Amino acid sequence: MKGFKNYLLASVCVSGMCFSSYGAVPDSLMRTEPDRQWEYVPSAEILSARQEFADAGFGVFIHWGIYSMFGQGEWYLNSGVNAKEYAKAARGFYPAHFNARDWVSAIKASGAKYICFTSRHHDGFSMWDTEQSDFNIVDATPFKRDVIKELADECHRQGIKLHIYYSHIDWSREDYPSGRTGLQTGRDESKRDWSAYYKFMNAQLRELLTNYGEIGAIWFDGWWDHDNDSVPFNWQLQEQYKLIHDLQPGCLVGNNHHITPYPGEDIQIFERDIPGQNEAGLSGQAISRLPLETCQTMNGMWGYKIKDQNYKDTKQLVQLLVKTAAMGANLLLNVGPQPSGEIPAAALDRFREMGEWMRENGETVYGTTAGVFPAQDWGVTTTKGKRIFLHVLTPTSTEIRLPFANGERIKSAVKFGSGEKIRFTQKGRGEAVLHLDTIPEGVDYIVEVTLK
C-alpha cells in the first residue's frame, strides 16, 4: 500500500485544510457543500482496485482530439476562437496513422500499467460513438472510427488498464453554465441549462461504462472552472459518482479539482507537482490517505503543441518517476499524439528507454510505499516491507547519510540487482551511513537495505 492505510477514514472528506488552489472559495463555504455532506463507504471491489492502482506506480496519459490538428495544445478553443468555426475542423480530422495496437504496445513496453485517455476534453468533442451529441469522432469526421472502442479493445487484449478522462467543462455546448474559462467561444449564455447538461454528461458516462468493457477509472477535470463563484457551484458529484460505482463497481473515481477529495473519490490527483511540492501552483491542498497520482507533461503541454519540442530526457523522467513513488504516488506521464494519429518520435524514444530501466529496476517502484524518511540531497527512498530502496540520484559524496528516525536497524545493504555488498556504519538505532567506493554516476544508483 502506498501510504494509505485506513480506507474508511480516507473515503470521507479528510478534515483539516480544505481550500481551492486559486484561493477564491473559502474553507468554511466549501465544507457546507452538499457534495461533502455524506459518507462514502467504498465497496470491496473498490478497495482492491485502489490497492491495484497504488501498486501500479506508473501510467501514461494521452491527450488527443481535434485540437491536436491546430498544434497549439488542448486549450486552443479558449484563445478567442468561435466554437462553431472550430467545430468545422472535425470535417478534416482523418488520423490515417492511428493504430491502437501500436500505441498500447509502445506504452506497455515503457513499463506503464495503465493508460488514461481523453474521451472528451473542454472543447466538447467526443472521441467515441456517442448518441448524446453529433460532435463526435464517428458522426462529425470522415474518419468515422470509434477511437475509444479500438483503444479499449486493445488495452483489454494486451492486459493494461484503461482510465477515462472526462471534462466537466464544455466550451462548445450552450447548456453548459460557463464559469471562468471558454468565455469567448460565441455561445448564447441565455441558453445555459445545468439540468440538461448534467443529464447529458451522465448519459455519456453511462455509455462509456456500458459499451467498452472494464474501465479502470473515470478521471474528471474542470471543477475549477467555477472556483471563483461567490456561492460554491453545485456539481452534483454525489449522484454522478454513485452512477459510476453502480455501473462498474470496481471503477475508481478521481477528480483533478486541485482541492481536498470529496466523498465518493477513490484517488487523489495532483497536477504537475509531486504531492508535497507546489511549484506549479495547483497543489496547495492537503494530502489525503487515498492512493495518490501526479500527472505531468513530457514536454510542457498536454495536447500536441508543434512549437514545444522541449521534452524532458529519460534521466529526468526516470528520476521524476522515482521521486513520485517516494512520495507514495503514481506518475501519470502525458503524451500528446500528432494529428496523424502518431505518437511523437521523441516520446516513443523515452517510452522505450524508460521501459529498459523499468525492466531492470521496476521492482523498486511497483508495489512500493512512500519513503521511510523525507527526500535527501542525494536522493529518495521507496519501501517494500523491510526492504528499503535507496535511490541515489544526485550524490555529491561517497558517504550516503540515512536519517532513520524510528529505531530502524540495518541488517544488510547491497547494490540492487547485482547483490554486491555495500559497507555501512550504524551506531545502535538511528542515523546510518553507507560508504560507497566512488561517487555514483548515471540515472539512479539503487541500494537495497534490509532492516532487522
**Contacting residues toward ligand GLC, per CB under 6 A:** 63, 74-75, 221, 256, 271, 295, 302
CB count in 10 Å sphere of residue 222: 22
Integer Cα distance of 379 and 445 in angstroms: 10
Q: Least separation, in Å, of the C-beta of 74 and ligand GLC?
A: 5
Contacts of 374 (CB under 8 A, 6+ apart): none
Q: Are 243 and 202 in contact (CB under 8 A)?
A: yes
CB of 13 to ligand GLC, least distance (A): 21
Residue 203 Cβ, how far from ligand GLC at the closest point, in Å?
A: 22
Nearer to ligand GLC, 182 or 250 (CB): 182
In angstroms, the CA 436 to CA 429 distance is: 21
- Give the residue with the Cβ less far from ligand GLC, 42 or 73: 73
Closest approach of ligand GLC to the CB of residue 75, in Å: 6
Evaluate whether 10 touches 300 at the Cβ level (below 8 Å).
no
Instruction: Using the minimum distance from each CB to ligand GLC, give the nearer residue, 170 or 221.
Output: 221
CA–CA dist 381, 400 (Å, integer): 12
Instruction: Provide the minimum distance between the beta carbon of 182 and ligand GLC in the complex, in angstroms, as a whole number.
Output: 11
Beta-carbon count within 10 A of 186 CB? 15
Min. distance of Cβ 252 from ligand GLC in angstroms? 16
Question: Could you tell me which residues come within 8 angstroms of residue 128 by beta carbon, excluding any fewer than 6 positions away?
Answer: 119, 136, 137, 138, 146, 147, 148, 149, 207, 208, 212
Interior angle at CA 118, CA 115 and CA 123, nearest 5 = 170
Least Å distance, CB 180 to ligand GLC, is 12
Integer Cα distance of 203 and 435 in angstroms: 61
Residue number with CB closer to ligand GLC (38 or 75): 75
| Coil, helix or strand at residue 13 | coil
- Closest separation in Å from C-beta 224 to ligand GLC: 7
**DSSP, residue by residue, 178-190:** --SS-TTS---GG
Indicate the residue among 317 and 393 with the shorter CB distance to ligand GLC: 317
CA of 201: how far to CAs of 95, 264, 269, 379, in Å? 26, 17, 21, 44
Helix pair 100-109, 345-361: axis angle to 10 deg: 40
Find the helix or strand (DSSP H, E) in which 208 lies.
Answer: helix 194-210
Give the residue ranges of DSSP H helices in 345-399.
345-361
Closer to ligand GLC by CB, 256 or 283: give it: 256
> In the bound complex, what is the minimum distance in angstroms from residue 329's beta carbon to ligand GLC?
14
Question: Which CB sits closer to ligand GLC, 221 or 265?
Answer: 221
Minimum Å gap between C-beta 220 and ligand GLC is: 10
Q: Which three cell numbers stand for residue 357?
A: 530501466
